Amino acid sequence: MTSERFDVVVIGGGINGVAIARACARGGKRVLILEQNDFASGTTSRSTRIIHGGLRYLEHGELGLVREALRERERLRAEHSHLVRPLKFLLALGAGGNHSALAVRAGLWLYATLGAGRPSAVDGELDRLERLLDSAQRWSVFHYDDAQCEFPERLVAEWLCDALAHGADARNHTRVLEVETRDGRATGVRARSLLDASEFRARADWIVNASGPWVDRVCAAASVRTRSPLIGGVRGSHLVLRRFPGAPASAVYSEAVDGRPFFLLPWNGQLLAGATEVRDHADPGKTEPGAGEIEYLFASLNRLFPGAHLSWNDVQATFAGVRPLPYAPGEKPSAISRRHFLHDHSDDGAAGMISVIGGKLTTAAAIARECARKIGIDAPEPALAAAPSAQEIEAALGGWSRAVAQRAHIAEASARALAEWHGAGAAEIAHAAAMDERQRAPLCEHSPHIVAEAVAAVRRECASTLADILLRRVPVALGACWTDQCSRTAAARIGVVLGWSAARAARERDAFEEERAGFWKRAEAVALQQRG
């Protein structure tokens, strides 16, 4: 592509950018989406992975935001039940905390009312949690329902495929060098592929800057001068831990050592703890947890669960991402609104360019509809269907897995893994596996996920590199068991089917290991950082 015309060019391939591209493509527009790294490789993959209404936003009186988020949560649960699952939350508050029991009960009642539901039973989890908590103080434990998307990278991949099916063009590993303007209006972009260094221009009627924490950098590259920065980046750091004996099966929401909100979530066979809130104005692609944040998270865990005797040996990895919150100098990060805003650059000399500020996983589809309407696309509110229960999801997965395992000649665990990560797309992957013995092989000896998933990632989901595959489309490399041998096995098995030479497979493996180490700080690095 040297020069083509589009109705809409979207810059940024995180969950907001892909959702916007999808909404515009479904609305009949010719769309190009550009991402400088890989789709979902930025803030989306570095989030706490909760699909929620934002219980704590009630404290700031943001009822509209909570109501919108709860509606979107239920839509996601109904439309993507294989990825967005109901999750019970236990709210544990110690004596002398920031909230009275009466205020908490009132807030939970309002939260359930706005979400049109009542909290489900927790089956003894309250008692088990109370036995784990610090027995030196009194605790009040409540419960409520929300949801979790363990792998928002997969949700982005599904929305990307939908956008492609509606005629969108998608380019990852492509950096926007310039947003071109003429007579006070944005007219297109100039971009460069980072894979082969080729450059091209794309003309467009609308430019949507959905680059998250990179929004101001895109504006600067476009010579679009705003009166003040649009984004005030706030870093959120997390710990990934091995499950400890007695660890609750439900998510735990409590207060950290300084009274801030703190989560401990079951995730990917491990535990995910976080997150911090630290201002971060550096390169969002290179952000990582600071030593003080790691210590803060670990101290908060040990304050809650002193009997678990957690040590640095329990830490699997750490990671961090930058939230693209609105620029709000002087405000505490926790007090900055989580609402999203669409900034029209007409007054900045770039009419036809919009920058997306804020947003979160839960409300990405709502942001996309609002953005589509702003550029003249009819994007009606979808009907709110009833989401399946956990029992209904389990029954559907079980039945499908048994049937497909037999037809595709794969283990039932592999069939279930396909269904959980690929939903309706699992049938096509299973068919490819049935036709090719090489594609039925597991990606590594520890995983039920198979080579056919990696092949589909390349052929259908715009994956270009081994890192795209193993960190985002089929994110097995985020599992507790992943080793260097797993990397070698996966690269070799994928490479054989895709026709990679031995040299190409080695290059892909090395690049994958480098990217994984930059994002997913291993336990050894954590311990070394603490000793330093």
The larger pLDDT score, comparing residue 268 to residue 402, is at 268
Question: Using CA atoms, how far apart are residues 202 and 189, in angstroms rounded to an integer?
Answer: 5
* Domain final residue pick, 388, 415, 437: 388
Give per-residue pLDDT as tens, 28-49: 999 999 999 999 999 999 999 9
C-beta separation of 495 from 508 below 8 A: yes
Q: Residue 444: which CATH number?
A: 1.10.8
Q: Is residue 41 domain-shared with residue 120, that is, in the same domain?
A: no
* Domain final residue pick, 302, 323, 344: 323
Residue 479 lies in a domain: yes
The pLDDT of residue 364 is 97
Give per-residue pLDDT as tens, 369-387: 999 999 999 999 998 888 8
Q: Is residue 62 domain-shared with residue 171, that is, in the same domain?
A: yes
Residue 432 lies in a domain: yes
- How many residues are given for the chain? 532
Instruction: Give the type of residue at 451.
Output: V
Binning pLDDT at 50, 70 and 90, where does residue 134 land? confident
Question: Using CA atoms, how far apart are residues 72 and 519, in angstroms rounded to an integer?
Answer: 29
Q: Is residue 59 domain-shared with residue 100, that is, in the same domain?
A: no
* pLDDT averaged over every residue in the chain: 92
Q: Is residue 362 domain-shared with residue 214, that is, in the same domain?
A: yes
C-beta separation of 126 from 143 below 8 A: yes
The pLDDT of residue 397 is 87
The pLDDT of residue 116 is 65
Give per-residue pLDDT as tens, 449-501: 999 999 999 999 999 999 999 999 999 999 998 999 999 999 999 999 999 99
The pLDDT of residue 73 is 95
Question: Using CA atoms, how far apart are residues 148 and 272, in angstroms rounded to an integer?
Answer: 12
Question: Using CA atoms, how far apart are residues 111 and 109, in angstroms rounded to an integer?
Answer: 5
Question: Using CA atoms, how far apart are residues 59 and 104, in angstroms rounded to an integer?
Answer: 10
Of 148-152, 493-497, 517-521, the poorest mean pLDDT is in 517-521
Q: Is residue 69 domain-shared with residue 154, that is, in the same domain?
A: yes
The pLDDT of residue 505 is 96
Number of other CB atoms surrounding residue 104 within 10 Å: 17
Q: 């679009």: which residue's tokens?
A: 224
Q: Residue 167: which CATH number?
A: 3.50.50.60
Q: Is residue 139 domain-shared with residue 276, that is, in the same domain?
A: yes
Binning pLDDT at 50, 70 and 90, where does residue 80 land? very high
Residue 442 lies in a domain: yes
Q: Is residue 169 domain-shared with residue 59, that is, in the same domain?
A: yes
Residues 6+ apart with CB under 8 A from 241: 270, 271, 272, 273, 301, 310, 314, 315, 316
pLDDT at 121 over 90: no
Q: Is residue 364 domain-shared with residue 421, that is, in the same domain?
A: no
The pLDDT of residue 248 is 86
The pLDDT of residue 70 is 94
Question: Using CA atoms, how far apart are residues 172 and 68, in angstroms rounded to an integer?
Answer: 30
The pLDDT of residue 443 is 97
Q: What is the gyration radius of the CA atoms in the chain, in angstroms? A: 23
Residue 499 lies in a domain: yes
The pLDDT of residue 203 is 96
Q: Is residue 98 domain-shared with residue 64, that is, in the same domain?
A: no
Instruction: Give the type of residue at 7.
Output: D
C-beta separation of 86 from 363 below 8 A: no
Give per-residue pLDDT as tens, 174-209: 999 999 999 999 999 999 999 999 999 999 999 999
Question: Mean pLDDT throughout 218-226?
Answer: 89
Residue 529 lies in a domain: no
Range of the domain at 355: 1-82+150-228+331-388
Q: Please tell me the pTM assigned to this model.
A: 0.95
Give per-residue pLDDT as tens, 241-267: 999 988 888 999 999 998 889 999 999
Q: Is residue 409 domain-shared with residue 302, that is, in the same domain?
A: no
* Percent of the chain predicted with pLDDT > 90: 71
Number of other CB atoms surrounding residue 379 within 10 Å: 18
Question: Using CA atoms, how far apart are residues 402 and 410, in angstroms rounded to an integer?
Answer: 10
pLDDT at 14 over 80: yes
Question: Mean pLDDT throughout 212-241?
Answer: 93
DSSP conformation letters of 147-161: EEES-HHHHHHHHHH
The pLDDT of residue 115 is 82
Question: Mean pLDDT throughout 503-523?
Answer: 91
Q: Is residue 500 domain-shared with residue 419, that is, in the same domain?
A: yes
- Count up the domains in the chain and report the number: 3
* Domain final residue pick, 323, 343, 368: 323
C-beta separation of 146 from 87 below 8 A: yes
pLDDT at 529 over 90: no
* Percent of the chain predicted with pLDDT > 70: 95
The pLDDT of residue 312 is 83
Q: Is residue 66 domain-shared with residue 109, that is, in the same domain?
A: no
The larger pLDDT score, comparing residue 63 to residue 24, is at 24
Give per-residue pLDDT as tens, 425-435: 999 999 999 99
